[in-house]
A = this chain, B = another copy of it.
Amino acid sequence: MTSDPVDPLRPANAEDVIDRLVEWLSIPSISAEPAHRTEVADSAVWLRQRCLDAGFTSAEIWETDGHPAVFARWDGAGDEAPTVLVYGHHDVQPVDPLEAWAHPPFEPVIVDGECRARGAIDDKGQVLYHVEAVAATLAESRMLPVNLKLLVEGEEEIGSPHFEQLLVDHAAALDCDVIVVSDTGMISPDIPSTDVAMRGLVAATIELTTSSTDLHSGSFGGTVPNAARHLSRLLANLHDDQLRVAVDGFYDDVVPLDDGEQRSLDEQPFDETEFCAITGVAGLEGELGRSPLERIGSRPTAEIVGMSGGYVGEGIKTIVPSRATAKIAFRLVPDQDPTEVMRLVDAWVTKTVPPLVDVSITWHGGVAPVRSSTRGWAFEAVSATIASIWGAHPLLTRVGGSGPEETIARRLGAPMVFLGVGLPGDRIHAPNERMVMDQFWRGFHAARKLYGELADRWASR
């Protein structure tokens, strides 16, 4: 453990905080896998108890038709103070391929100033620095400058299927003046940034069936349809020669960047060599005529997430596969509508696959893209906070990832700001996910600072 007692970022109780972080990250709260249902619930119970111990006025488990959320609140700042709702999630991604992990994903270690575990940065680590910021502030002064609500859901990694219902059911409890999202990142500790938009997400499982049974490739090969070949052709046609998504009408509702955002995008540094080193790729590719940062944040995409069909064991099996399956994730940008995109993709698949192939499409979740304002008291508070902690005013970025932020903003009707400490090399959703501990401690200080900045700017708005 790189314990440095003179590190000014580390609070006095840093070791206790780390113990709690390790304890929570040890719970495999994988929302996508039914086998881990109990652990997602255990994770919620852990967080509720930690919130109570931290000094929140109350903390509850909110059950859903899927995995539970946690809601905690501290109400002592009075009616004049703003009510701040912090959003995060306690569920995590699956961990396969397990053999690619240097350490077991649910046995967290602190190595080289990094916490290595599934969920370290996405998103338990980012939730915990808020909880510990509340705990520290209350321990010092018995008071927070704002009324604080913490909403931590358990289904973010599966597209938040029950989250909107949760927001509807608990609308009164969730009433707030500003939403702080802590589930994102920044360009680097030296070039801090904050987000002003997130991509939406819809994902499909597409299964093609050409026969009731696999067929012998000697006896039938060459004259019966091959499900794997048809899937390959469908997937190969998903992008055109310009690497644009070939689904008819896919770009119809995409709003171009305005001049201000385009300028901010152009100012962002991008080191292709470093980017390739971080991602482990030999080179970049994507929609022609767009820069890499533009492609990630402000352009919609379709990525094949996985595919399978036929025999993939050892050696060879001489069959014509009768079934083949692919999963495709579509990232959406303002003002694409998830429901409309699903309709367009359904129509495109139906049009593209020939009649002798049976098609089944299953949709997973549906998250709309979201934009937040770059002006006003809330944005100024987060901008000043980041400037104070990281030493520079943040650049404006768009998040390539997706979450239920659009739903929160729409349902709660409050401005939304982003405080996120993730870094490009954190390997979220991949083996060896990490959180850089210096960023964790900066997040802790930034959270404490932000509550004060929000209170001040609310008062003088």
Q: Residues on A close to B: CB < 8 A?
A: 32-34, 93-94, 96-97, 100, 158-159, 199, 201, 203, 205, 210-226, 228-229, 231-233, 235-239, 279-287, 292, 295-296, 299, 301, 303-322, 324-327, 329, 331, 354-358, 364-365, 399-402, 424, 427-432
Contact = CB atoms under 8 A, between A and B. Distances in A.
Nearest to A433: B216
B321 A312 contact: no
A218 to B, nearest CB: 3
Nearest to A272: B223
A161 B100 CA distance: 32
Contacts of A33: 313-315
Given A213-B432, A356-B285, A219 B401 contact: yes
B304 A226 contact: yes
A235 B308 CA distance: 13
Given A223-B292, A232-B232, A303-B320, A313 B94 contact: yes
A317 B283 contact: no
16 contacts: A94-B313, A96-B311, A201-B218, A213-B430, A214-B429, A214-B431, A215-B429, A216-B429, A223-B284, A228-B305, A229-B238, A229-B303, A232-B307, A282-B355, A282-B358, A306-B317
A217 B96 contact: no
B210 A281 contact: yes
A96 B313 contact: yes
Contacts of A34: 314
B199 A218 contact: yes
Contacts of A327: 310-312, 316-317
A222 B158 contact: no
Contacts of A233: 232, 236
Q: How many copies does the complex hold?
A: 2
Contacts of A283: 225, 355-356
B279 A307 contact: no
A201 B314 CA distance: 17
A296 B220 contact: yes
Given A236-B236, A304-B228, A316-B32, A311 B279 contact: no
Nearest to A286: B223
A175 B317 CA distance: 32
Nearest to A358: B282
A318 B96 CA distance: 12
A203 B316 contact: yes
B303 A324 contact: no
B32 A317 contact: yes
B318 A312 contact: no
A34 to B, nearest CB: 7
Contacts of A325: 312
A97 to B, nearest CB: 8
A210 B317 CA distance: 26
Contact of A218 (B317, B355, B400, B424): B400
Contacts of A232: 231-233, 235-236, 238, 304, 307
B215 A430 contact: yes
B430 A319 contact: yes
Nearest to A199: B218
Nearest to A204: B316
A387 to B, nearest CB: 24
B284 A429 contact: no
B309 A324 contact: no
B224 A158 contact: no
A159 B316 contact: yes
A419 B239 CA distance: 51
